[in-house]
């Protein structure tokens, strides 16, 4: 006996030598089975494409990571916060002002 009180364990059955290979399934019969399942109300259990939470994206998205002096980053964040803008909206505003030229 071991110190935990268990003996030599359990004896598992020997694997069967008479395992036969699975027969090939015709693709048409699989399609018929899927259609029959759909008519009975079964739904696919495959993972669906997960959408990001939040508002619908109207255009392709990307990210920018710009390391810089803390004072500059803090000033930009304050600029956006005071105008109730997201960071990308603040960047877009500054870029559009730059395109228009100095006033």
pTM over 0.85: no
The length of the chain in residues reads 103
Identify the DSSP state of 28: H
Torsion on CA atoms 19, 23, 29, 34, rounded to nearest 10: 30
Q: pLDDT, tens digit, for every residue of 33-54?
A: 888 988 998 887 777 777 667 7
Identify the DSSP state of 77: H
Q: How confident is the model at residue 83 (pLDDT cuts 50, 70, 90)?
A: very high
Task: Give dist(CA 95, CA 97) in Å, integer.
Answer: 5
CA neighbor of 91 nearest in space, from 66, 59, 68, 69: 66
Q: Taking the domains of the chain in order of start, what are their residue ranges?
A: 67-103
């Amino acid at each position: 006996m071991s110190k935990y009180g268990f003996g030599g364990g359990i004896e598992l059955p020997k694997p069967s030598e008479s395992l036969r290979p699975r027969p090939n399934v015709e693709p048409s019969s699989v399609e018929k089975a899927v259609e029959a399942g759909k008519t009975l109300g079964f739904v696919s259990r495959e993972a669906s494409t997960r959408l990001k939470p939040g508002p619908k994206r109207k255009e392709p998205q990307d990210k920018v990571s710009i390391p810089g002096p803390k004072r500059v980053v803090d000033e930009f964040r304050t600029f956006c916060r005071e105008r109730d803008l997201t960071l990308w909206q603040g960047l877009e505003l500054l870029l559009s002002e730059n395109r228009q030229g100095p006033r």
